[in-house]
């Protein structure tokens, strides 16, 4: 019997009599073992190459798929096409000079990478940032989460044949990009943080733009919700596909929405709070089946929660109007340009910082933050000089992608595309 006919039974029961969404039973897509015979394709063994240049691989990823009929026996991923040696390069750069490199790792959420690096360097130095700076960094992280999830949602929709939500998602993403541009001067390579503070405060009236976004965005999310959540095709392609139970998700070191969709309620923002996240009011969505559909639900809800956090952060920002942005330590933060040009002392500090850089004491620090794709960790080892001995990036999508062969076992070839999309990878971070 072909599996396709079973799937069609999903068509209508996704809403119950009261209009509430109903989960299709997991058995909708039984797992098929080796030797499965499909009438259309037979059981012939094939080796299919996908990528590295293919829109559905979300970057330069090559998948070698071993098939038996239409059933996947094994997936062998090949990565490294975008390897740029950031970790090596980091050993030749000052700490503040690492920040532009972080933009280019997870380039779908550049601002939260910037924040993580600043946090790691500050942990090495043992300093605390100002309250206003922490609020701005929370805003940066949550804006990043929204744009990253929007790209995920749009491209995954396209991979499964839904074009319209892609346009809605990218339209909203554009609004955040405009705000990002107004704040940092760049859309993608933001480099917004500095060790001990921020590169710049937000410009006058910027908060109004973000408030407008927070008002309008939930409406778009509702539209996407209506389009996808009860859609028979979407449910059929995602429910029960690429599922991984909680214990295995932990064993594979999955993190972020991938882990939470499997029912493990671990979110760094709540369980290892940084930047005062424990003082914000937000919920952490957790799935139960660990399939693509649950990952979708988790990410959709996370965007709503991010909007909540943004609104609270904007209220605090208003209260902190005029409060200092950077720590007041001339060894860390550049003096204002006017003072550097008129005051001898300030000029010396300016010169020393630019030429020598910030020098943390010898030691090591690991900081993990909840990036949109999972736990991003920066592990810095210092020998007391201005350049790190080692800058290790714990790349969440590298570790999540490592589970792809397991997620694809016994799935159909068309599911490989959906499962790969659901992992939410970004090759800049995987290959570094």
Partner 1 sequence: MSALSPSVAGLRAAFGDAIGRALVACGDTVVVLDRARVHDVLRWLRDEPGQGFDYLVDITAVEYRDPERPLEVVWNLRALARRADLRLKVELDPAGPLEVPTCTDLWKGADWLEREVWDMFGIRFAGHPDLRRILMWETYAEGHPLRKDFPLRGHFSRAEQVRQALGTSMEGHYALPSDLDVEEYA
Binding site for partner 1 (CB under 8 A): 45-47, 62, 64, 66, 74, 76, 78-80, 83, 85, 87-89, 92, 123-124, 126, 248, 250-254, 264, 266, 271-272, 363-366, 368, 375, 377, 379, 381, 383, 389-390, 392, 394, 398-399, 401-403, 406, 431-432
Question: Minimal distance in Å, beta carbon 12 to partner 1?
Answer: 39
Which C-beta is closer to partner 1: that of 320 or that of 386?
A: 386
Distance between CA 417 and CA 19 in Å, rounded?
31
Q: How far is the CB of 108 from partner 1 (least distance, A)?
A: 20
Query: Please, which residue, 92 or 163, has the CB nearer to partner 1?
Result: 92
Q: How many CB atoms lie within 10 A of CB 74?
A: 13
Least distance between partner 1 and beta carbon 332 (Å): 17
CA distance 348 to 251: 52
Quote the DSSP letter at residue 412: B
**Distance separating alpha carbons of residues 221 and 355, to the nearest angstrom:** 47
Give me the least distance between CB of 258 and partner 1, in Å please. 11
Q: By C-beta, is 26 or 89 nearer to partner 1?
A: 89
For the bound state, the minimum distance from the C-beta of residue 91 to partner 1, rounded and expressed in Å, comes to 8
For 378, residues 6+ apart whose C-beta sits below 8 A from its C-beta are 116, 117, 119, 120, 366, 367, 391, 392, 393, 394
CA distance 253 to 395: 11
Question: CA-CA distance, 96 to 352, in Å (whole number)?
Answer: 13
At its nearest, how many Å lie between partner 1 and the CB of residue 49?
Answer: 10
Distance of CA 6 to the CA centre of its chain: 34
Alpha carbons 138 and 280: distance in angstroms, whole number: 10
Q: Which is nearer to partner 1, 166 or 252 (CB)?
A: 252
Residue with smaller CB distance to partner 1, 59 or 154: 59
Q: Quote the tokens at residue 302.
A: 């996370």
Whole-number minimum distance, CB 32 to partner 1, in Å?
Answer: 21
C-beta of residue 52 within 8 angstroms of C-beta of residue 77: no
* d(C-alpha 213, C-alpha 179), whole Å: 9
Closest separation in Å from C-beta 381 to partner 1: 5
Q: Compute the Cα dihedral for 209, 214, 219, 225 and give only its sign.
A: positive
Closer Cβ to partner 1, 79 or 317, answer by number: 79
Nearest residue (CB) to partner 1, 123 versus 373: 123
| Exposure string over 149-179, b if 16+ CB within 10 A, otherwise e | bbbbbbbbbbbbebeebbebbbebbebbbeb
Minimum Å gap between C-beta 215 and partner 1 is 36
* Rg value, the chain, Cα: 23
| CA–CA separation, 9 and 22 (whole Å) | 13
**Residue 252 CB, nearest distance to partner 1 (Å)?**
5
Q: Of the two residues 248 and 329, which places its CB atom closer to partner 1 in the complex? A: 248
Crossing angle, helix 164-184 and helix 131-159, to 10 degrees? 150
Our CB check for partner 1 shows the closer of 296 and 391 to be: 391
Which residue lies nearer to partner 1 by CB, 165 or 368?
Answer: 368
Strand partners, 369: 376
CA distances from 199 to 115, 356, 416 (A): 11, 18, 42
Q: Where are the beta strands (DSSP E) in 330-373?
A: 363-371
């Amino acid at each position: 019997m072909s599996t396709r006919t079973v799937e069609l039974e999903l068509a209508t029961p996704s809403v119950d009599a009261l209009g509430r969404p109903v989960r299709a039973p997991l058995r909708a897509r039984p797992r098929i073992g080796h030797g499965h015979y499909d009438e259309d394709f037979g059981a012939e063994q094939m080796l299919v190459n996908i990528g590295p240049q293919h829109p559905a691989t979300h970057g330069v990823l090559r998948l070698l798929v071993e098939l038996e009929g239409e059933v996947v026996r094994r997936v062998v991923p090949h990565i490294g096409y975008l390897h740029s040696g950031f970790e090596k390069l980091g050993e030749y750069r000052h700490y503040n000079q690492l920040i532009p490199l972080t933009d280019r790792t997870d380039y779908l959420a550049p601002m939260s990478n910037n924040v993580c690096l600043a946090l790691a360097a500050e942990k090495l130095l043992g300093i605390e940032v100002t309250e206003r700076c922490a609020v701005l960094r929370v805003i940066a992280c949550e804006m990043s989460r929204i744009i990253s999830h929007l790209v995920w949602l749009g491209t995954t929709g396209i991979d499964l044949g839904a074009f319209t939500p892609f346009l809605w998602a990218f339209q909203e993403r554009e609004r955040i990009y405009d705000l990002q541009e107004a704040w940092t001067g760049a859309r993608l390579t933001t480099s917004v943080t500095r060790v001990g503070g921020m590169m710049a405060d937000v410009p006058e009236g910027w908060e109004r733009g973000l408030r407008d976004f927070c008002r309008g965005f939930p409406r778009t999310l509702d539209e996407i919700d209506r389009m996808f959540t009860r859609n028979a095709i979407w449910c059929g392609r995602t429910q029960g596909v690429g599922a991984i139970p909680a214990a295995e998700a932990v064993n594979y070191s999955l993190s972020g929405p991938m882990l939470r969709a499997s029912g493990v309620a671990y979110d760094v923002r709540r369980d290892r709070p940084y930047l005062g996240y424990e003082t914000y009011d937000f919920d952490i969505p957790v799935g139960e089946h660990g399939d693509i559909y649950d990952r979708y639900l988790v990410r959709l809800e996370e965007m709503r929660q991010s909007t909540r956090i943004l609104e609270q952060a904007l209220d605090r920002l208003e209260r902190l109007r005029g409060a200092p942005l950077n720590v007041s330590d001339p060894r860390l933060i550049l003096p204002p340009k006017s003072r550097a040009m008129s005051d001898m002392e300030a000029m010396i500090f300016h010169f020393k910082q630019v030429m020598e850089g910030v020098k943390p004491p010898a030691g090591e620090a690991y900081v993990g933050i909840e990036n949109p794709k999972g736990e991003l960790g920066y592990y810095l080892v210092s020998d007391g000089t201005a350049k790190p001995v080692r800058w290790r990036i714990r790349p969440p999508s590298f570790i999540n992608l490592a589970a792809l062969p397991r997620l694809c076992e016994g799935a159909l070839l068309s599911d490989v595309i959906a499962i790969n999309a659901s992992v939410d990878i970004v090759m800049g971070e995987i290959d570094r």
